[in-house]
Amino acid sequence: MAVVKLDSGYNIGIPPEACSFVRRSPPEPVKRPDMVQERDLPELSIVSTGGTIASRIDYRTGSVTSQSDAAAILGAIPELAKVGTFTTRSLYTILSENMTPGIWIELARAVYEEICRGVSGVIVTHGTDTMAYSAAALSFMIDTPVPIVFVGSQRSADRPSSDNAINAVCAAKVATGDLGEVVVVMHATTNDDFCSIHRGTRVRKMHSSRRDAFRSIGIPPLGSIQYPSLEVKLEAGALKRGHCTPALRDHLDDRCGLLTFYPGMPPDTIRVYDGYHGLVIAGTGLGHVSTLLIPELRKLIDSGTLVMMTTQCLRGRVCDRVYDTGRDLLDAGVIEGADMLPETALVKMMWVLGNESSRERAEALLQTNIKGECTGRSAHGL
Amino acid sequence: MDYKTAGLTAGIEIHQQLNTREKLFCRCPTTLREVSDHSGSFFRYLRATESEMGEIDRAAQEEMKHTRKFVYYTYDSTCLVENDEEPPAPLNPEALLICLSVGKIFGMTPVPQVHTMRKLVIDGSNTSGFQRTALVAMNGSLPGGGCIETICLEEEAAQRVKDEIFSLDRLGIPLIEITTAPCMHTPEEVQQVAEYIGMVLRSTGCVKRGIGTIRQDVNISIARGARVEIKGVQELELIAEVVRREVIRQKNLLSIGSELVKIGASVNSGDSRDVTILFSGTKSSVLKKANHIHALLLKGFAGIVGREIQAGRRLGSELSDYAKKCGVGGIFHTDELPAYGVTQEEVDAVRNAMEASPGDCVVLVAGSTEKQARCALSQVIARAGIALSGSPVPEETRKMIEGGSSAYMRPLPGAARMYPETDVVPVLIDIALWESIPLPELLKEKAARYAATYGIEPAYATQLVSSEKLPLFDRAIAEGIKPKLAAFTILSTVTELRRDGAEIGLVADCDYLGIWHAVEDGLAAKEAIPDLLRAAASGVCLDEALARLVPPVSVDKLHTIVREIIASRKDFVQQKGKAALGPLMGLVMAEVRGSVDGKIVSGILKKEIDAVLSRKVH
């Protein structure tokens, strides 16, 4: 069907054969107000990758796609000008499900360059679906003395009720704050009242559509930022600005997989991962798969694949020493993934195998806390 | 008034809630709730967004002059879609079918593919900041030769509880919007067309009934005036009055415009200053609270700002409405001062400060912040400027206020407020489906049929087809109840009981049918119907009500009752003769409490009276 816009603003669909070519309208340049930047405010860099924080209608599919660049974000959210001065870098305009480890590497490099340039903080605009993966990836790849803040929106930017503006303004404020790590800043509640600051290796999207979908898992959020006062409160555990010098370790081994176990899973499912360098399993409860799978896992491990167990409960710690199945898994060579989120564990596996060639050291690294992704003690309950 | 000379052109938009099982874009019920039943609340800010063409709609911009925080009440019958926390479900096919059916009655053409749009409305009444709406059919005709331009299917907005608090139970109920062409030229004609369209809508049997379920917006312009849309006319009877008053308003604005030009009046933003200091000791509660008071000199406006332009409305009311968009409570102007606690001395001081001549008017705006006061001031300057411009009637969306006058809401929106609803897939209208939609019998025709077939008085029949209980009546007829019995109960008995304060709305249709069947089967007398309905309204189940109110009375028992009553009033009977029947009838009916039909009682009573009288003769 051809879409016709009537004078009233309504669209209707009519069969293409009912249309005839009249003329092609010249493209009308979209006018944007010039943003006045105050020089005394901290310099922030916006690296945009796409997602609903900057999306518009695509008449090809009739659905929303990421089309706006970072400049469009500034044009749409003038309140940002009160928080900092901005430079923008449009890296990608993709939906986050189309992200790849290769893109994480390019993103890490771009962000690292911005840090080296001396900006006070970096804001990464990102689709929310896989934001947590990218945040974890950058957490491992970059040692950062300044905030690297991931932000997005759950409700598209082209609606008056979008959470994009509040999230973006809060993210910008956090990027100017006394913080030195990779975080995600998104709505904390369904109200437009405050945003939470989540550690990049501990955050997960826990709802498909709500504004407050992002939650810290296993630890409390690192802090909060009120709207509209923009008052930032950081918890004691948050890493301070300047706690390290910038460093980039931008190798990832993308021959790693993530498998969610389910009752009745055929043992040959494991064979799909033949030739993989690493496999993270999201097992049941304390970290289990069915006994039938264990021989296949043993074969996989013996052939050189590192296998790490996490829990599909998301909350809590893997402990494969309680039941027989767990002990058999350990015996087969499976590594316990402590209280790591399965997705974070996958990204960590890619990073560890990308940077460490010794299997023993890689196993040790996987079980060592590097960027707050796992803890030795379970201080936080549900 | 000669409306032809005035050049009156009017059209209407009718918004009618549809009585579907589920809302338009979610699977919640279309039930309205008591505000006190709300299960939670949340708050949001809304901001104007650009259209797909990169413009910001002027109406939306006006609503955004000050940041507003909106609070929403949720219920156990609302979901994340109303909260704007979940994408909409597909367009409700039941609602679409009703729209198509109405379109067919008006002889319209359905659009080949229905596209849902987002109409930007950021007054808080939609959590998303837009109202979803879709054009369904075009080009219909009215019996008088008028034209229906479009039928749209829209979602109902949230109901304002008070101030910036909204209730989400109403948000998302399907609404049909019927827009006529500007084809009407007298106030009465507008009202008649509205009545006709209302009748057609009710003929579908699929629309909600009661106050607030239908709303009319009226579009009015006169020669040299401008198109003004007056929203929210709920009473049909007021439509003609709304049109009359708007014509008067536009004529008055036109004559004020010419007068201001003749006087050489002017509005200049330079003619304003901060006069907060002059009111440091004021007794005016409004000005005392304000941190910033600005005055604006309107040269040549003296006496005109206070002039009535419509019943209860002055030019000053228009200036005030514009200022209110900045969050201030209104304005003061020297045509109405001293008053409201502002003294003559203060007025003199302001006039002096503004170097006002006797022919000038001074307007005061008071804001809690400098920004707010300046915003209000610029709004007053803009509106006063329009008053003396070449087009002194601005194109506006207005809301009806009591009696049929209207107040400014926002500029007329443009096409820029429409944006495609990307979350809803377009719906193809299947031609086979369109062709298979049956045309309902119009209520007008139905009334004529009832009168002819059932022998119901024509006026009664008309009343019956407009009744909310029409489906009940049809069901009763189908179940073999006598039409007159059902009609009398629905139109007369129910009205009386309601007047007496019975909660008659609580009586279920099945109770009505049960009562009628009891009467038809001889288990209860017609006379017992009011008592039975009253019992049903107070929650008594039908069997219990029948047992309690209509105890079975055998023919023998009835004879005994009648004989006893006659025996105890022998003298009366002998004195009155056959005329004793009436008074005694009441006594017997009270005794049998509606268990026996009046006709039977009257037959037996008559026989027994005759017997007594004949004994006297012997």
Q: Are A137 and A109 in contact (CB under 8 A)?
A: no
Q: Which CATH number fits domain A40-248: 3.40.640.10, 3.30.70.1140, 3.40.50.1170, 3.40.50.300?
A: 3.40.50.1170
Cα separation, A68 vs A51, in Å, equals 9
The rounded radius of gyration (Å) of the Cα atoms in chain B is: 32
Contact A57/B415, CB-based, under 8 Å?
Answer: no
Cα separation, B384 vs B374, in Å, equals 15
Report pTM: 0.84
Cα separation, B100 vs A71, in Å, equals 45
Q: Which residue in A52, A125, A176, A305 is the catalytic one?
A: A52
Angle at the Cα of A93 (from A91 to A95), degrees rounded to 5?
125
The identity of residue A204, as a single letter, is R
Secondary structure (3-state) at A65: strand
In A63-190, the DSSP E strands lie at: 64-66, 85-90, 121-125, 142-143, 148-151, 182-187
Structure-block tokens of residue B59: 């109406």
Identify whether A284 is a catalytic site residue: no
Judging contacts by C-beta atoms under 8 Å, the chain B residues touching residue A1 are 112-113, 426, 428
Identify whether A344 is a catalytic site residue: no
Contact B112/A156, CB-based, under 8 Å?
Answer: no
Instruction: Tell whether the model's pLDDT for residue A41 goes beyond 50.
Output: yes
Identify whether A88 is a catalytic site residue: no
Residue A67's pLDDT is what? Answer: 46
How far does A53 lie from chain B, in Å, by closest CA? 13
Q: Are B580 and B609 in contact (CB under 8 A)?
A: yes
For the stretch B431-486, pLDDT in tens is: 999 999 999 999 999 999 999 999 888 998 999 998 888 999 999 999 999 999 99
- The residue that leads in pLDDT, B158 or A90, is B158
Cα separation, A353 vs A279, in Å, equals 11
Instruction: Tell whether the model's pLDDT for residue A60 goes beyond 70.
Output: no
Judging contacts by C-beta atoms under 8 Å, the chain B residues touching residue A213 are none
Residue A58's pLDDT is what? Answer: 57
Burial of B582 (0-12, 13-18, 19+ CB in 10 A): exposed
For the stretch A168-188, pLDDT in tens is: 999 999 999 999 999 999 999
A159 band by pLDDT with thresholds 50, 70 and 90: confident
Mean pLDDT, 10 residues at a time, chain B of 618 residues: 93 97 98 96 85 61 70 97 97 97 97 95 92 97 93 97 96 98 95 94 93 93 95 90 96 96 93 93 90 95 96 96 91 94 94 95 94 92 94 95 93 81 94 93 93 90 89 93 92 90 88 91 83 89 81 76 86 85 85 76 86 72
A·B CB contacts under 8 A:
129
At B362, give phi and psi (nearest 5°): -115, 130
Among A66, A28, A32, smallest CA distance to A157 is for: A66
Please state which of the ranges A72-76, A116-120, A374-378, B360-364 shows the lowest mean pLDDT: A72-76
Instruction: Tell whether the model's pLDDT for residue A66 goes beyond 60.
Output: no
Helix/strand/coil (H/E/C) assignment for every residue in B498-515: HHCCCCHHHCCHHHHHHH
Identify whether A128 is a catalytic site residue: yes
Instruction: Tell whether the model's pLDDT for residue A342 goes beyond 60.
Output: yes
Residue B96's pLDDT is what? Answer: 97
Which of B54, B69, B133 is nearest residue A30 as measured by Cβ atoms? B54
Cα separation, B76 vs B82, in Å, equals 12
Taking the CA atoms of A262, A264, A267 and A271 in sequence, report the sign of the dihedral they define: negative
Residue B576's pLDDT is what? Answer: 85
Among B173, B159, B195, B132, smallest CA distance to B18 is for: B173
Question: In 3-state terms, chain B is what percent helix, strand and coil (to 5)?
Answer: 45, 20, 35
Q: What architecture (CATH level 2) is domain A256-366?
A: 3-Layer(aba) Sandwich (3.40)
Hey, which residues 59-88 in chain B have their CB within 8 Å of chain A? 60, 67, 69, 80, 83-87
CB atoms within 10 A of CB A35: 14
Contact A8/B415, CB-based, under 8 Å?
Answer: yes
How close are the terminal C-alpha atoms of chain A, in Å? 51
Which residue in A has a C-alpha nearest to residue B71's C-alpha?
A191
CA distances from B564 to A31, A92, B570, B588 (A): 98, 101, 10, 10
Sheet of A43-48, strands arranged across:
A85-90, A43-48, A121-125, A148-151, A182-187, A194-199, A223-226, A232-234
Cα separation, A21 vs A27, in Å, equals 17
- How far is residue A248 CA from its own chain's centroid? 18
Cα separation, A346 vs A281, in Å, equals 9
Judging contacts by C-beta atoms under 8 Å, the chain A residues touching residue B48 are 160
Q: What is the DSSP string of B87-135?
A: PPPSP-HHHHHHHHHHHHHTT-EE-SEE-EEEEE--SSSSTTSEEEEEE
- Say yes or no: do domains A40-248 and A256-366 share a fold: yes
Residue B386's pLDDT is what? Answer: 95
Structure-block tokens of residue A331: 């015996």
Q: Interface pTM (ipTM) of the complex?
A: 0.92
Burial of A140 (0-12, 13-18, 19+ CB in 10 A): buried
How far does B421 lie from chain A, in Å, by closest CA? 8
Domain edges within chain A: 40-248, 256-366
Hey, which residues 185-214 in chain B have their CB within 8 Å of chain A? none
